[in-house]
Structure 1
Amino acid sequence: MTKEKEQSNAETLAALQELIEVVAKLRSPDGGCPWDLAQTPQTLTPYVIEEAYEVVDAIKTGDQEAIAEELGDLLLQVVLQAQIASEYRQFSLQDVAKGICQKLIRRHPHVFADVSVNSVDEVRQNWEKIKATEKGESSAESQKLSTKLSRYGRTLPPLTAAMKISQKAADVGFEWENIDGVWAKFHEELEEFQQALAQETPARQQAELGDLLFAVIQLARWHNLDPSEGLQGTNQRFVQRLQKMEDVVDRPLSDYSLDELETLWQQAKAQLAKE
């Protein structure tokens, strides 16, 4: 290792140590921050998800300064979770780091052992086999498709989970013969949702809404579209149009009639289309 690399590593470790000490101070009963002291692993969960999404958004923009900042916010969540756990003598940040290092070494025998691979697909296959062994997924029960898919439902955002679940089901042959069947299912679910809204309980309405969304996701999958990307784009366009509307008015939007708002909306939509 070169002297420059050694110095860089030392500076990185020093920066991480400083972060650990700052977080420990924030959590200290003696002069710490009341907000940080009030947090639990459960109350911090929304921030973990939020920061992860903000990292992804920053990466999409390509703004390196923003990426570094958002990665820092996400790293804070890791250190804060580990700090709280260490206070209750559950695990430490050291345990977290050691654990991921050991996992990476185990799952890359072609790098750290004498296994040979010839393609990315082989790397992925080895990874999945090792992962299954680690989790004790060698029993008949653990190999069931439903067992594997239930994990997606628990751990992934709903839209992503729905795509994964339906794709894995399709891989074993549980699939429509053609796109006409998918459209028929969509219209069936739409009708059932409308009926539920008119006649059923809120719980039933919620269930039918889920079925309708799942049908929409199947249409997206058949057309090789990403529903998460699609919805994110719609969200952004909606906000952009509202911004254009606010740029040309002289009072709050709530002061305008619905007809006036619709006119402003169409003007904003047309302007953004030109841009």
Structure 2
Amino acid sequence: MDATAPILQALEKLIAVVAQLRSPEGGCPWDLAQTQQSLIPYVVEEAYEVVHALQGQDQTAIAEELGDLLLQVVLQAQVAQDLGHFNLQQVAEGITAKLIRRHPHVFAEVTVSNAEEVKANWQAIKAEEKGLSPDQPELLSSKLERYNSTLPPLMASSKISQKAAAVGFEWPDIEGVWAKFNEELTEFKQALATTDKEHQQAELGDLLFTLINLARWYKLDASLALHGTNQRFIQRLQLMEKFADRPLDKYNLEALETLWQRAKKQLNQ
């Protein structure tokens, strides 16, 4: 028996289940009410839950979360098919053709000797797909705009910082980055002394962007760093709730700080 047969059968069953959920005859009212736009939060949420499972290396959780993400792909394709736009077959054929086209060293006669040559070929093929010649690469600003439009802000800032530095738009040394950080911190404090919320927001953005550049210089991942801080905060809060004999909102600030320090000490042990 073909080893892929059970996989294809499982996918066919999933497609059939989603089609039934979207069927006007006996389908699910919630699924029938969904649109491409209404499902966007679920796509984002499921993608992040996959990342969380991967970071935890819980293989059962990874399989489950990948299933949830796969559901969003199948459901989006079914919604599009119902509207007469495209179907899952076209989605699969499109990505398959793209993979074959962008890997000529595997599926054609091109020879490469290392990963850098693979990357160079990939970029050249992508440029050709966009109607650009190898001598006319995509404008840097276009790439950065795509990151800003499609990625979460923290991740987008990291990519924008990396790509700008790669073309030489960079400080000569780390002291220059620290000077910029202190400059932006001063400007943010000055903005906070005004009542102009738009200006305050802009200066906060400048400060955060410079902090992300500092992280890049020190080869730190800003997204992972913030994720770790969030997790530590939640863990400490969980211990505070465990130590408390009443809801936290019934404590004053001094008592909450005592609980916080107790939780922090236990976790550090």
TM-score class, shorter: over 0.9
Specify the alignment match of 1:266 in structure 2. 261
State the Cα distance separating 1:29 from its structure 2 match: 2.0
Q: Select which of 132, 143, 151 maps to 1:156.
A: 151
Q: Select which of 168, 183, 186 maps to 1:188.
A: 183
In structure 2, distance between residues paired with 1:23 and 1:143? 39
In structure 2, distance between residues paired with 1:188 and 1:74? 43
State the Cα distance separating 1:85 from its structure 2 match: 0.2
Specify the alignment match of 1:48 in structure 2. 43
CA contact under 8 A between 1:160 and 1:228: conserved in structure 2? yes
In structure 2, distance between residues paired with 1:153 and 1:17? 36
Specify the alignment match of 1:147 in structure 2. 142
Q: Given the alignment of the two structures, is residue 36 of structure 1 paired with residue 31 of structure 2, yes or no?
A: yes
Specify the alignment match of 2:222 in structure 1. 227
**1:64-103 correspondence runs (5 A):** 64-103=59-98
CA contact under 8 A between 1:107 and 1:127: conserved in structure 2? yes
TM-score for both structures, normalised by structure 2: 0.96
TM-score for both structures, normalised by structure 1: 0.94
Specify the alignment match of 1:165 in structure 2. 160
In structure 1, distance between residues paired with 2:21 and 2:198? 42
In structure 2, distance between residues paired with 1:207 and 1:13? 51
Q: 1:67 to 1:38 in 2, by over 3 A?
A: same
Specify the alignment match of 1:206 in structure 2. 201
Q: Select which of 126, 130, 133 maps to 2:128.
A: 133
CA contact under 8 A between 1:182 and 1:219: conserved in structure 2? yes
Q: Select which of 204, 207, 215 maps to 2:210.
A: 215
| One-letter amino acid of the structure 1 residue matched with residue 204 of structure 2 | L
Q: Select which of 232, 256, 265 maps to 2:251.
A: 256
In structure 1, distance between residues paired with 2:192 and 2:224? 28
State the Cα distance separating 1:139 from its structure 2 match: 9.0
State the Cα distance separating 1:194 from its structure 2 match: 1.7
Structure 1: runs of 5+ lacking an equivalent: none
Determine helix, strand or coil for the equivalent of 1:199: coil
| One-letter amino acid of the structure 2 residue matched with residue 176 of structure 1 | W
| One-letter amino acid of the structure 2 residue matched with residue 62 of structure 1 | Q
1:115-169 CA-to-partner distances (Å, cap 9, x unmatched) read 0011111111111111111122339886322122212111222112111111221
Structure 2: runs of 5+ lacking an equivalent: none
| One-letter amino acid of the structure 2 residue matched with residue 32 of structure 1 | G
In structure 1, distance between residues paired with 2:181 and 2:12? 54
| One-letter amino acid of the structure 2 residue matched with residue 38 of structure 1 | A
Specify the alignment match of 2:236 in structure 1. 241
Count how many residue pairs are aligned between Structure 1 and Structure 2.
269
Determine helix, strand or coil for the equivalent of 1:70: helix
